[in-house]
């Protein structure tokens, strides 16, 4: 990033300003936004959802602007050694190749220092040409101190003080930056997770009226796992925030001497939602006394449908690109054409793992995919927890191939151990059940894997998965999901029609039991799923088709964004 690009931007200022003229009504704040596979400013599900949301807003001409941090060094580039140890490397990302530096600046106070912020711009163009601007905040300016210059470099890196400083930049700096850019029409601020909740403090300090701030604020909570909610010790939070924290709200947002970002967002929002129906129930239990709605997540259809399925949908369901609801008529697509499109996507994936990892996989062997953040509650090793059983099933029913991918957060030992376990098992059963681990899971790999396997596996421990979205990407490519009944799958699973459930029924409220789930997983693979794939191909393809017609037509961000407009934004 060179300072000289400011001048270059200056020459284009008029053109960029013209793109701002949409009079946006909603500002969408997210710590991470995965808007483009070449812009590594996201880590996983939350950021990809934010990007998909913004893309659908652009497709639907919804007057929104996005605000996030630059995360100049991204999350991290994942390498895994022979033993399965994850190695985290910095990402080489030339910001000015993809984002445009604007001349506008603002600042925030952290401790007693003024931290200057500049901003980069990325226009997200919708299917009809409507532009949703996304702004990336950046503190890497000469005027700032050494530490302050690093604050927008590492997504989810550093210690708690670093995170708090990042959140001051995102929330307070974000509101100020929008004002500095000249926006005067914003009347809703949407916090995608609690990281941006300091925006409420900036609004309160301007308006001095809790009700007026509430009218403007919308909050989406994303995790039922307690450690997923940011909390900051007052010992450093108070000095860092200075006079930004009004004394009249302290009782509402401070618990056990910690400032709770979720409580801050809850206190100042007129509309709060969880990201699936079950997640609303869990959130209501976690935060009694607040009114919490639900809007189930989706994925951006045009982003996640693979090329062969795009051609197939264009042929049979014209109009699906701007209105994914049309995918419900997938029932009329001939089964052989679905299979041909699937095999094209599958060959692409198998060729990739064979050439990169020498995986020795076959096009016509039953292939299971598991790819997501690696962490204990998602139980990445449940499928391989009894390798002998897995080998017996393969001998009985037909060959099985397994494709894994996913990063573990650098401080998450449980996730790192799961990767090691997968590598160990890979060595012992590799000859009988083919396994491979694709390194550095990102949007590009995600797109290829969700489209290219035969079965999408998800094994979260109930009720920890707020929604999950990768199974929706699979459904868009006719790939059925096999998952515990948690998050969106409680709404999307119709047994044997859109996929299969692992473990206790929908009506049972029990927490997951590993032993019960493991048995159910193996039994269903052995008795239902793999035999249907090898011996009843016609009905297998019927299931694939139902995934598109029943699930892709609904679990997309176009439907989701329309629900936000009606229920949360009141546009
Ligand atoms: C979709 C996606 C996720 C989310 O996966 P879940 O299984 O829903 O947790 C994570 N990372 C990337 C790169 C994705 O594309």
Residue 371 phi/psi, 5-degree rounding, is: -145, 125
Residue 565 CB-density burial (10 A; 0-12 exposed, 13-18 middle, 19+ buried): middle
* Residue-wise pLDDT tens digits, 424-434: 999 999 889 99
Pairing verdict, β 100-110 and 113-125: antiparallel
Q: How many angstroms separate the CA atoms of 370 and 385, rounded?
A: 14
pLDDT for 413: 97
Nearest CA to 135 out of 109, 110, 169 is that of 169
SS3 state at 80: strand
Distance separating the N- and C-terminal Cα atoms of the chain: 38
Task: Please name the residue whose Cα sits nearest to atom 7 of ligand 1.
Answer: 470
pLDDT-derived band at 92 (thresholds 50, 70, 90) equals: confident
pLDDT for 1: 36
Domains, the chain, with CATH or none: 3-298+560-569 (3.40.50.2000), 303-319+334-554 (3.40.50.2000)
* Residue-wise pLDDT tens digits, 351-366: 999 999 999 999 999 9
pLDDT at residue 3 above 70?
no
- Determine the residue of 34, 42, 45, 225 to mutate for testing ligand 1's pocket, defined as the one with the most ligand atoms within 8 A of the Cβ atom: 45
Question: Dihedral, CA atoms, 33, 34, 36, 37, nearest 10 degrees?
Answer: 150
Strands (E), 275-365: 293-294
Residue 5 CB-density burial (10 A; 0-12 exposed, 13-18 middle, 19+ buried): middle
Run of H or E including 562: helix 557-564
pLDDT at residue 139 above 80?
yes
Task: Please name the residue whose Cα sits nearest to atom 11 of ligand 1.
Answer: 44
pLDDT at residue 8 above 60?
no
* Residue-wise pLDDT tens digits, 314-334: 999 999 999 999 999 999 999
pLDDT at residue 179 above 80?
yes
Q: How remote is the CA of residue 108 from the centroid of ligand 1, in Å?
A: 33
Residues within a 6 A CB radius of ligand 1: 44-45, 48, 372, 441-443, 446, 468-470, 473
Place of tokens 């699979």: 474
pLDDT-derived band at 15 (thresholds 50, 70, 90) equals: low
- DSSP per-residue letters across 24-52: --EEEEES----STT-----SHHHHHHHH
* Residue-wise pLDDT tens digits, 243-292: 999 998 999 999 999 999 999 999 999 999 999 999 999 999 999 999 99
Nearest CA to 468 out of 366, 350, 545, 370 is that of 370
Q: Spell out the residues 6+ positions from residue 407 whose beta carbon is closer than 8 angstroms to its own.
A: 43, 44, 75, 76, 78, 86, 373, 374, 415, 440, 441
Q: Spell out the residues 6+ positions from residue 244 whose beta carbon is closer than 8 angstroms to its own.
A: 109, 168, 172, 198, 201, 202, 205
Task: Please name the residue whose Cα sits nearest to atom 12 of ligand 1.
Answer: 44
């Amino acid at each position: 990033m060179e300072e000289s690009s400011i001048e270059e931007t200056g020459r284009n200022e008029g053109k960029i300003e013209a793109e701002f003229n949409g009079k946006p009504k909603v500002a969408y704040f997210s710590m991470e936004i995965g808007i483009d596979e070449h812009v590594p400013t996201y880590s996983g599900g939350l950021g990809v959802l934010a990007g998909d949301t913004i893309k659908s807003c652009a497709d639907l001409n919804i007057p929104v602007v996005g605000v996030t941090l630059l995360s100049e060094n991204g999350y991290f580039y994942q390498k895994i050694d022979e033993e399965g140890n994850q190695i985290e490397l910095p990402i080489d990302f030339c910001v000015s190749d993809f984002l445009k530096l604007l001349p506008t600046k603002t600042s925030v106070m952290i401790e007693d220092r003024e931290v200057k912020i500049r901003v980069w711009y990325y226009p997200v163009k919708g299917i009809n040409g409507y532009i949703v601007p996304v702004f990336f905040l950046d503190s890497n300016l000469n005027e700032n101190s050494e530490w302050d210059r690093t604050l927008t470099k590492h997504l989810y890196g550093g210690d708690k003080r670093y995170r708090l400083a990042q959140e001051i930049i995102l929330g307070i700096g974000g509101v100020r930056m929008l004002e500095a850019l000249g926006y005067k029409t914003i009347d809703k601020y949407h916090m995608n997770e609690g990281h941006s909740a300091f925006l409420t403090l900036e609004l309160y300090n301007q308006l001095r009226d809790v009700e007026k701030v509430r009218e403007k604020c919308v909050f989406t909570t994303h995790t039922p796992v307690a450690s997923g909610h940011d909390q900051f010790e007052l010992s450093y939070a108070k000095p860092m925030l200075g006079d930004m924290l009004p004394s009249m709200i302290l009782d509402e947002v401070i618990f056990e001497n910690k400032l709770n970002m979720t409580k801050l967002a809850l206190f100042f929002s007129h509309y709060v939602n969880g990201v699936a129906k079950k997640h609303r129930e869990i959130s209501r239990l976690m935060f009694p006394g607040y009114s919490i709605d639900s809007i189930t997540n989706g994925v951006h259809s045009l982003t996640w449908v693979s090329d062969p399925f795009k051609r197939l949908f264009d042929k049979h369901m014209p109009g699906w690109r701007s209105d994914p609801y049309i995918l419900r008529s997938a029932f009329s697509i001939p089964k052989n054409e679905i299979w041909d499109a699937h095999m094209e996507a599958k060959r692409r994936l198998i060729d990739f793992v064979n050439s990169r990892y020498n995986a020795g996989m076959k096009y016509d062997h039953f292939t299971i995919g598991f790819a997501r953040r690696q962490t204990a509650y998602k139980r990445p090793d449940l499928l391989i927890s009894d390798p002998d059983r897995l080998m017996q099933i393969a001998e009985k029913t037909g060959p099985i191939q397994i494709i894994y991918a996913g990063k573990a957060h650098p401080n998450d030992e449980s996730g790192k151990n799961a990767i090691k376990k997968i590598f160990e098992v890979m060595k012992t059963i590799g000859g009988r059940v083919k396994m491979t681990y694709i390194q550095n899971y990102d949007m590009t790999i995600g797109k290829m894997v969700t489209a290219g396997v035969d079965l999408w596996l998800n094994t979260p421990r109930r009720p920890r998965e707020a929604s999950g979205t990768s199974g929706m990407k699979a459904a868009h490519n006719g790939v059925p999901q096999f998952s515990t009944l948690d998050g969106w799958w409680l709404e999307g699973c119709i047994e044997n029609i859109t996929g299969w459930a692992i473990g206790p029924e929908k009506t049972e409220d029990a927490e997951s039991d590993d032993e019960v789930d493991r048995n159910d997983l193996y039994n269903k693979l052995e008795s239902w799923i793999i035999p249907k794939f090898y011996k009843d191909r016609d009905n297998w393809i019927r299931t694939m088709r139902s995934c598109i017609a029943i699930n892709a037509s609904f679990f997309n961000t176009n439907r989701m964004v329309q629900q936000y407009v009606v229920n949360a934004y009141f546009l």
